[in-house]
Structures are given as structure tokens and as C-alpha cells.
Chain A
């Protein structure tokens, strides 16, 4: 089911009768998401466009078997809403709410240790597996089903990149907005590991920004464990130090968390970093084409052993061929291309070592 959400997702909306909750519950339903329940304390027994509303998450889960919860409650109530969903043992909780105090998130993060629930957000657009399930606030129509995984700390910048990918005929397996706060439930490293294991993802786009060190951690993980091509972009390259750029987490403090550091770290890990968002589709196409070429060579040279993995390679080759159509070599900078070659050697080696 791509990652985190798909056809089997049964979505519960916490705060469904509020202004944002009702608007987006309808939007998700229109997209084709199975929105099975809503929760607003005191409004149990009512319904919204045929979606039954319950007083508590427990009751909603018992009655509708919801397995995803999406939270649209105001910031002062968000911590309690997350606790309620976690205590009801919902496997995936997506908190859209912006403005949750950091202390509330420190407490949530501690509470989540050892629990089976995964939290995405807060302060995020949610996630979408195009053509199957949308959980959040993103405009569905800009997405297309496909094989590129995308993970981002941003909202509208993600839409921008998704739109460019879609226009370049690169559909997406799943797009996840992990949120712009200093503490979030799911980080780049978590999403990368999931995309790596996902059979329906061929390449990954990572959109980071200034503040914190999650991008650096992602680069370290890519170096060691990710075999699929990753392309990155970092927003805030020209942000002044000490100023919060909209997102609570987007701040360069004490000289740490700069875009330059993050870009350098990705480049050291062999990850091509787009200078501008419009460069991303070409970099992805380029990476996929190289991977397909490499895979093709291996089939010839590796004989039977390689044939066992043929299925996966064929897919990669197919996606690569498809992707090479738009403008690849022309716009991809030579520097990135030559760099990727060495990366590939390294990655192939790492792969061998693990097997």
C-alpha cells in the first residue's frame, strides 16, 4: 500500500465539526479516502455528509474499525487529541494542527516511546498515496499515481515540487509532509526507511529546510542504508540567522542548522541537491536512468543470481526509461551527474555487504 496509507486506510477525523475539520473531511471523502468516522465531544450521534460523529475516539474505533486518525483541533487541544488517539491504539495519527507548544510535543514524544502508534506532524499538510488515499489538507488534483516517494517539512513548497513532478510525468507513490515544528512525530529518517522498503517506490525526493539536524541525520542514513536514489532540496539558503522563517522549526540558531551545512552534508553522502525547485524532476530522471543502466548491466554480467532480482530491476528500468523522456541530460548539471557515478559504486558496495 505504498507507505503509511492506501486503499485499506479507514480514516477517523478528530475535530470533524470544526471549520477546518469539516472542510477537509469533505475534501478527503471527495478524493476517495474512506472517511469512516468523526469525533467531536458532545456531538456524538450526529453526522456530517453521512460520516457518523462520535463523542470519543474509543467509541469511533469500536464502531467503525478506523485505523488512521487525522487531527484538526485547535492548538491548545491538540495534545489531548493525540493522547486520546494513542490510547485508543490507532496505528497512525496525523496531526495537522499548527501552533502546538513545544512543551506539549516534548511530553507527547516521551509518551509515544514504546507505543505502537506512529505520529505524523504536527503543523503538517498530512500525507497522500495518489489515487488511493489522502489524509490531510493538500490539493489532491496536483498528484498522480507513480513511483516517486516524497518527504518534506513544508506544505506549499511540497505542492510546488509535486506539481513539477506530475507535469514531468513522474507520479508519486506517497507524499508525506512531516511538519515544520522543532519536534515532530515522524522524521526524515523514518520516512526514508519506509520508502526504502516499499516495493512501489523507485526514487525519493527529500525537501528540507533550515533549522535542526534532521537533514544531516537523513544524509547519514542514506550513506549507510538507502539503496534507492535520493534527490534533495533545502529551503532557506538565504535566511538570516536567528530569525524564525514562518515555521516554528525553521531557525538558524547559534550558527547551527544552516542550509549550507545541510547541502554540504547531502553532497558528501552523494545525494544530488537541487539548486532550485524546478531542477528536481531532471535530477530524479537522471538518477533513475543511471540506476536502470546499472541494473541492466548487472543482469548481463550476473547471470542467474541477478535473474532472481530481475523483477525489481525491470521495474526500475521501465520507470527510468519513462522518466528519461523529458529534458534529462540537457538541464541536469554535469557536476551532479559525475558525482552520482561514484555514489552508485558506493551504494552497490553497501548493498553487497548487507546481503
Chain B
């Protein structure tokens, strides 16, 4: 689960990392009160769950009230790569002497978190890694977390001044503690700045929490911003489905993530475009099929639906029942192509044929068929 910047800053603040004050506004009026309280200049920052908002014009330093009202209104109306800006963060503009980077990610290969720090902050760290890899120091965390002496080594890599190093080491130690204690899969400060007076502040926060660990972090789970997510993805999660919206016109219902990925690949391979990734999981619950059909039939872009089911633990007849129940309830006119193989395939075919529907058994054939049906319907 991705946190907004302001939420990530709350997590940082609670964990002892110095973060400048800031308030979140949903309207221009609200924002104006906050700005007046903080005093100019201030920074207005769009709160969206996607990167690259700075380049898109979603971050702006303003010096007076008139400019503020105009810019706050503009940013609140923005759409950044499909993400509507519904909230803005108002925070004081700081004088910056140096910008650093500090981040922790999971190193899958070494099966342990990896701390990366760089004196080249404020830019995309992937660019730094490509162009000037010597400007990144990498230190693995282990069962001890990050020992303080290693945090000090990281701080020395960033700045030669002992007074600044001490603050940086503190921030880095705290960041490692937060990464572990809050079950993060990413905890990143970019930029981590030093002011001309030698103070260290975290000016941004990018925090991703491991979805599988949300059960033990009720406070973080409550931060989920349903309004900022795709409604289909929200509904799917509530129903225990795994759904990702894509750009195409062919809706997919598949059991299993690997097969669902292979199905969307196959649709593209044969010249079609999938509208989504959708994994109904390994269970045989007909309600999940109904929920899946609900999501797909509401999606205006969908021209045809493909069911691709390999029955193992999932029983084909249960999926067929779920589909028929969904059709009774929703009554869609969308063309539906069904591919069923495996456990209780025969029973499933009988159920479907009683309603005048047939199921294919070959995946390639089913994909070609649904592409043709979608083209006819378009």
C-alpha cells in the first residue's frame, strides 16, 4: 500500500525524523487558512499516489496570497497521469544548502533490506544509479537492523561536517527502525536537506507498506485513501479479488496470478488489448465470480469478456455456477467467451450448455475468439 507524502511524513515524525510542519487541504479556502498560519513563502504539493508530480507541475513555491489562491486552485484541479489531485499539502518553503537522498528497499537477492544514500539528492535516484553510480553508498541491513556505526558511515559519505553528520546519522538510524517496525517495502527521503544554518530536514516522504503486514498495523491500514484509487481495484480488494486496470477493451476473469498474466500477454500476442488483470484466486466461491462480473460490466470500455479457468482446486462447475448467477443478476449483453479445463470440466459444460453457452478448452483458441467478438462489438 502506497502512502501519500503527508501520511509518510506522519510516520516519519512519529519515528523521530525531523519533518517540517505541514497541513493537508481539500479546498482552496482551507488551504488559505493554513498558508496564513504558516506565513509566506510556502510550498503547495499535490498529494497523489504516483511519482513525477514535480515535473507535471504539481509542486509550487508561492510568495504571496494572491499567487497562492491561483496556484492552489490550479493544482487542486490537476490530473497527474490519470490521478486527480484531491488534496494538497501546504508546508513552509525552506532555504536549502544541500540535497541528499536516503532510502531503504528490499533487496530480494540478498533477502534483506538495503539502505542507499547519496549526496546527489533531489533527483530521480534511478538516474543517479545509471549515470554516477559512485555517488551511491549501499549498506545492507541484517538481523541487528542498522548498527549505529554504519549509520555514521553513511552520514560521513554525505557531508564532511561533524555537526551535520550527527543529525544525518540519527535520521538514517530512525529510517531503518521505521522500515522494520512498520513493515515497509520502501521508505525513502528525497530530498533530505541541510539548511544554510546546518539543520537537517526530511522534505519528502515516500513510504510503501507491505500489504501482507497491514493486519498488524491498524493505524496504517486506516490511512488507505480509497478516493485516490481506482474504484474497480477498491471493490476487487474488498471481495478478495486481485484486479489491475489496464488500457484495453477485453475483460479477463482468470484463476491464479500467473495464468492471469499469461492470459493478458496472450491477448496482446494475438493482437488484442486486455482491459484488466483479474485473478479470482484459488477458491471455488461463486460469489467471487459474480463480483468479478460486476466490476467488468460496469467498465464502459469492455467490449467482450474472457473467462480462462484451469480447474485444480478451483472447480470448473463452481465457476460456471458463479457466472450463471452473475448473468441472472446483472444480465449483461457483452459477448462472453469461456475456456474451462480441469476439475469438474464436464459438469461445468453441462451447466453452461443447458443455458445455450459453450466453453472452449484451448487457451489460444479462446483468446482468438474473444478478440474477434470484441472487434465485432466495437
Contacts and interface: CB of A to CB of B under 8 A. Distances in A.
Contacts of A259: 265
A239 B108 contact: no
Nearest to B112: A106
Contacts of A318: none
A217 B109 CA distance: 9
B265 A238 contact: yes
Nearest to A152: B258
Nearest to A208: B258
Interface string A222-239: 000000000001011111
Interface string B174-190: 00000010010100000
B12 interface: no
14 contacts: A99-B212, A101-B212, A105-B111, A110-B112, A154-B258, A156-B254, A156-B256, A183-B106, A183-B111, A237-B268, A238-B246, A238-B267, A245-B260, A254-B126
A297 interface: no
Contact of B282 (A102, A137, A207, A255): A137
Contacts of B362: 278
Nearest to B181: A103
Interface string A190-225: 000000000000000001011111100100000000
A99 B126 CA distance: 29
Nearest to B51: A242
A64 B84 CA distance: 61
A326 to B, nearest CB: 15
A211 B85 CA distance: 29
B265 A139 contact: no
Contacts of A249: 108
A211 B257 CA distance: 13
A156 B255 contact: yes
Contact of B215 (A76, A137, A183): A76
Given A101-B183, A139-B313, A240-B244, A155 B282 contact: yes
A246 B242 contact: yes
Contacts of B267: 238
Interface stretch (A52-60, A157-165, A299-307, A339-347): A157-165
A243 B363 contact: no
A250 interface: yes
Contacts of B106: 102, 106, 182-183
Contacts of A125: 312
Interface of B: 106, 108-109, 111-113, 126, 142-143, 180, 183, 185, 210-213, 215-216, 242, 244, 246, 254-262, 264-269, 274, 277, 279, 282, 310-314, 341-343, 362-364
A99 B254 CA distance: 19
Nearest to B279: A246
A158 B262 CA distance: 11
Nearest to A163: B341
Interface in A98-119: 99-103, 105-107, 109-110
Given A163-B341, A238-B265, A249-B108, A103 B256 contact: no
Interface of A: 75-76, 99-103, 105-107, 109-110, 125, 137-139, 142, 152-160, 163, 180, 182-183, 207, 209-214, 217, 233, 235-240, 243-250, 254-255, 259, 275-278
B143 A110 contact: yes
B256 A155 contact: yes
Contacts of B255: 156
Contacts of A103: 180, 183, 210, 213
A276 B268 CA distance: 11
Contact of B261 (A76, A105, A236, A276): A236
A226 B342 CA distance: 33
B262 A139 contact: no
A107 B246 CA distance: 35
Contacts of B242: 245-246
A158 B142 CA distance: 34
B160 to A, nearest CB: 29
Nearest to B242: A246
Contacts of B183: 101-103
Contact of B310 (A156, A212, A240, A276): A156
Nearest to A160: B310
B269 to A, nearest CB: 6
Contact of B363 (A109, A154, A278): A278
Q: Which 7 A-B pairs have the closest CB atoms?
A: A154-B258, A246-B257, A156-B256, A157-B258, A101-B213, A139-B312, A235-B261
Contacts of A153: 258
Given A110-B142, A137-B282, A183-B108, A235 B258 contact: yes
B246 A160 contact: no
A236 B318 CA distance: 27
A142 B342 contact: yes
Contacts of A76: 215-216
B312 A180 contact: no
Contact of A245 (B180, B261, B310, B363): B261
Contacts of A235: 258, 261-262, 265
A250 B312 contact: no
Given A75-B212, A240-B244, A276-B364, A255 B269 contact: no
Nearest to A180: B257
